[in-house]
Structure 1
Amino acid sequence: MKKMNIKIWAGVFSILFAASSCDDFLDINDNPNSPISADVQLVLPQAITASASIANQFNSYGGHFGGFIANAGGFSGFGNLLNYNLQPTDYNNLWVNTYQDPLADLNYVISETEGIDELAFYNAAAKIMTVVNYQRLVDAFGDIPYSQSLKGEEGINAPVYDDAASIYQNLLVKLDEAMDIIDNAEFPLRLTRASDPLFGSRTATERSIGEQMLDWKRYANTLKLRILVRLGDAGGFAGLDLNFVASDNTPAGSAFLEDDAVVNPGYEKNRPNPTWATWGRTTADALANSSRVPTTFSFSFYNGTKISDSGRGETMFVNFPTTPINQLGNEVGNPTIVAGQVTWASNQAGLAGTGVLKGPGMGRPLMLLAEARFLQAEAELNGFIAGDYIETYYEGITASFAYLYEDENGGLVQAPAPLVTAYTNNNAGNRLVEIEAAADNTQRLEAIITQKYIAMNMITSDEAWNEYRRTGFPSTVAGGAPPFDIASNKSNVTSRADRLPTRILYPSSEQSFNASNYRVVDFTSERIFWDIN
Structure 2
Amino acid sequence: MTNKILKYSSAFLLLATIAFSGCKKLDDINHDPTKPTTADPQYLLAGAQKNAMDVLYSGLQNGYIGMHYAQYWSGNSRTDDSRYKLDEGNNSTLWNNLYRISLNNLNNIVRQNGNKLDDPKIAAQTAIARITACWIYQVLADAYGNIPYSSTFQLDAGNITPAYDDAQTVYARLIDTLQAQIKILDVTKGTLATGDVIYLGSTDKWSKLAHSLLLRIAIRMADANDAKAREIIEANYQQAFTSNDDNALFTYLNAAPNKFPYNDSERELSDFFVSATLVDYMKSVADPRLAIYARPSKDDQVINGMPYGWASADKTRPAPGKFSYPGKQIYSAVMPGILMDYAEVEFILAEAAARGMNVGDAATHYTNGIKASISFWKKLADDRSIDDPAINSYIAKVPYNASDWRNVIGTQKWLALYPQGLQGWFERTRLNFKKPGGTALFIAPISGSMDPSTPLVPYRLTYLISEQTINKASYENAAKAIGGDVKGTKLWFNKF
TM-score, with length taken from structure 1:
0.75
Q: Match for 2:227: what amino acid?
A: G
Equivalent position of 1:203 in the other structure: none
SS of structure 1 residue aligned to 2:141? helix
Q: Match for 1:197: what amino acid?
A: V
SS of structure 2 residue aligned to 1:366? strand
Greater shift after overlay, 115-124 or 511-520? Answer: 511-520
Q: Match for 2:491: what amino acid?
A: I
The answer on whether the counterparts of 1:117 and 1:185 sit within 8 Å (CA) in structure 2 is: no
Distance 1:532 1:416, change over 3 A: farther
The correspondence for 1:235, drawn from 227, 239, 254, is 227
Shift of 1:235: 3.2
- Residues paired across the two proteins, number: 444
Equivalent position of 2:66 in the other structure: 62
Equivalent position of 1:273 in the other structure: 259
- The CA distance in 1 between the partners of 2:485 and 2:147, in whole Å, is 16
Distance 1:174 1:335, change over 3 A: farther
The answer on whether the counterparts of 1:367 and 1:460 sit within 8 Å (CA) in structure 2 is: no
TM-align CA RMSD? 3.2
Shift of 1:117: 2.6
- The CA distance in 2 between the partners of 1:243 and 1:71, in whole Å, is 40
Equivalent position of 2:216 in the other structure: 226
Q: Match for 1:471: what amino acid?
A: L
Equivalent position of 2:434 in the other structure: 474
- The CA distance in 1 between the partners of 2:402 and 2:357, in whole Å, is 20
The answer on whether the counterparts of 2:74 and 2:273 sit within 8 Å (CA) in structure 1 is: yes
SS of structure 1 residue aligned to 2:199? coil
Shift of 1:83: 3.5
- The CA distance in 1 between the partners of 2:146 and 2:49, in whole Å, is 24
The correspondence for 2:192, drawn from 190, 193, 208, is 190
After TM superposition, the structure 1 = structure 2 runs for residues 78-227 of structure 1, keeping only pairs within 5 Å, are 78-79=79-80, 81-86=81-86, 91-114=91-114, 116-118=117-119, 119-185=122-188, 190-192=192-194, 195-200=195-200, 212-227=202-217
- 2:411 matches 1:450: yes
The answer on whether the counterparts of 2:234 and 2:358 sit within 8 Å (CA) in structure 1 is: no
- 2:232 matches 1:258: no
Q: Match for 1:470: what amino acid?
A: R
* Structure 1 unaligned blocks of 5 or more: 1-6, 15-36, 201-208, 245-252, 347-354, 428-432
- The CA distance in 2 between the partners of 1:86 and 1:398, in whole Å, is 36
* Structure 2 unaligned blocks of 5 or more: 12-37
Shift of 1:41: 1.5
The answer on whether the counterparts of 2:350 and 2:362 sit within 8 Å (CA) in structure 1 is: yes
- The CA distance in 2 between the partners of 1:12 and 1:149, in whole Å, is 23
- The CA distance in 1 between the partners of 2:436 and 2:425, in whole Å, is 13
The answer on whether the counterparts of 1:44 and 1:109 sit within 8 Å (CA) in structure 2 is: yes
Shift of 1:55: 2.2
Shift of 1:374: 0.5
After TM superposition, the structure 1 = structure 2 runs for residues 382-461 of structure 1, keeping only pairs within 5 Å, are 382-407=355-380, 413=384, 417-425=388-396, 427=397, 433-435=398-400, 438=401, 440=403, 443-457=404-418, 459-461=419-421
- The CA distance in 2 between the partners of 1:516 and 1:328, in whole Å, is 38
Q: Match for 1:43: what amino acid?
A: L
Shift of 1:342: 8.3
- The CA distance in 2 between the partners of 1:335 and 1:176, in whole Å, is 53
After TM superposition, the structure 1 = structure 2 runs for residues 516-527 of structure 1, keeping only pairs within 5 Å, are 516-519=473-476, 521-523=484-486, 525-527=488-490
The correspondence for 1:10, drawn from 1, 7, 15, is 7
Shift of 1:326: 1.5
Q: Match for 2:292: what amino acid?
A: T
Shift of 1:177: 1.0
SS of structure 1 residue aligned to 2:475? coil
Identity of aligned residues (%): 24
- 2:458 matches 1:501: yes
The answer on whether the counterparts of 1:377 and 1:392 sit within 8 Å (CA) in structure 2 is: yes
Shift of 1:295: 1.2
- 1:439-472 CA-to-partner distances (Å, cap 9, x unmatched) read 61xx112111110111122x21211111111111
Q: Match for 2:46: what amino acid?
A: P
Shift of 1:110: 1.4
The answer on whether the counterparts of 1:219 and 1:261 sit within 8 Å (CA) in structure 2 is: yes
Instruction: Say which structure is richer in helix.
Output: 2
The answer on whether the counterparts of 2:151 and 2:163 sit within 8 Å (CA) in structure 1 is: yes
